[in-house]
Amino acid sequence: MDVYLPIAEVNINAIEILLLSAIVGVLSGLFGVGGGFLMTPFLIFLGVPPAYAVANEANNILATSVSGSTTHYLKNTLDYKMGLMIVAGGAIGTLLGIYTFSYFQNMGKIDVVIALAYMYILAIIGSLMLVESLGEIDKQRRNVVVKKKLHVHYWIHGLPFRLRFPKSKLYESAFTPIIIGLFVGFIAAIMGIGGAFILVPAMIYIIGMPTKLVPGTSLFVTIFVSVIVTFLHAFNYGSIDLLLVLMLVAGSIIGVQIGQKLGEKINSSGLRALLAILLLLVGIAMAYDTFFAEKVETEFVKVLDDDLNFFSVFIQKFSQEMPLFYSLFTIMFAIFLGVAAAFIRRFFSNLRKKLAVPANK
């Protein structure tokens, strides 16, 4: 079922988008990392121009992050002080990333830059994840138990301006979370990802936060970073397509819920190895598509206003005539969907518990 995207001006298959976003959502729920590093390349493979793929996946990540963060807020598993420190660095990094994005876009090289960024990031993360997961599988097979140090000290821990973080029970330099946030914000702006696959291990192994506070705080940070990325992409380039965002959010939120349930029941070591292999394959596919595949011009379909439905005409005019309000609307739209998904999930969870009580008596 082909759907015309009025902002990107391309036709896409809605079923493929929904299925892929749901699959990526399942992987995100299973491993606790954002799916932007997979979904953005998939959008590009499906014909969405890279600049639009980056912007719209960032808006999708905003919605899913709001949904997950709301759940953690209700459970009181957030460290707001640490999160705001990371956000401070993330805001600076995002602005630098958008400036870099604009620079290469003006040169006409942004598609190549996005492809290169994904090639290297996916190759590095995929290789590290594969080595770690294979090591875990080998240790489980041989019943080897390795005692790990609780906290390894790096140069970053020697930085000044130390603050207390009561929730995490840490006495840490403020520059540690700020520097980490700066790096995450920079790559989020260029690649359209939340940065959780970098932020989560950094919070555990570098900052030393308690594991139970990491997922919620990571999602909390991702909200602010994604808001900045979404706003700047929508306002500067008018590249957010609400029709595409709606499909991405619908699929990914459902997938995340399924993934979280599966993650509670299965051993993820083998699956982590498969995910690592998938990352490497996507990186190779990006390299092939960018440098070796025979180039086929993306078919931009300019449809007359008379042929568009009411919703598509509304999106086009809204984005062109009121870019500032359109940017703010895309943010509020994603936040509303995320909060609604979180409370719907909580409602059904409570309903299931109430129905289970009589059965157990």
pLDDT tens readout for residues 207-247: 888 878 887 888 888 888 888 888 888 888 888 888 888 88
The per-residue pLDDT for 145 is 60
pLDDT tens readout for residues 168-215: 888 888 898 999 999 988 988 887 776 777 787 788 778 888 878 887
For residue 255, count other CB atoms closer than 10 A to its CB. 25
Q: Which helix (H) or strand (E) holds 123?
A: helix 110-142
- d(CA 169, CA 307) in angstroms, rounded, equals 60
pLDDT tens readout for residues 69-107: 777 777 788 888 899 999 999 999 989 988 898 889 888
Domain boundaries, the chain: 2-360
The per-residue pLDDT for 266 is 65
Extended strands (E) in the chain = 2-5, 10-13, 162-165, 170-173
Check if the beta carbon of residue 265 is closer than 8 Å to that of residue 353. no
- d(CA 80, CA 110) in angstroms, rounded, equals 35
Residues 6+ apart with CB under 8 A from 12: 2, 3, 5, 46, 47, 48, 244
- d(CA 251, CA 22) in angstroms, rounded, equals 4
- d(CA 356, CA 44) in angstroms, rounded, equals 45
pLDDT-based confidence at 111, cuts 50/70/90? confident
pLDDT tens readout for residues 257-296: 777 677 666 655 566 677 778 778 888 887 777 777 665 5
Which residues is 172 bridged to in the sheet? Answer: 163
CA distances from 224 to 4, 13, 128, 183, 195 (A): 30, 31, 28, 14, 12
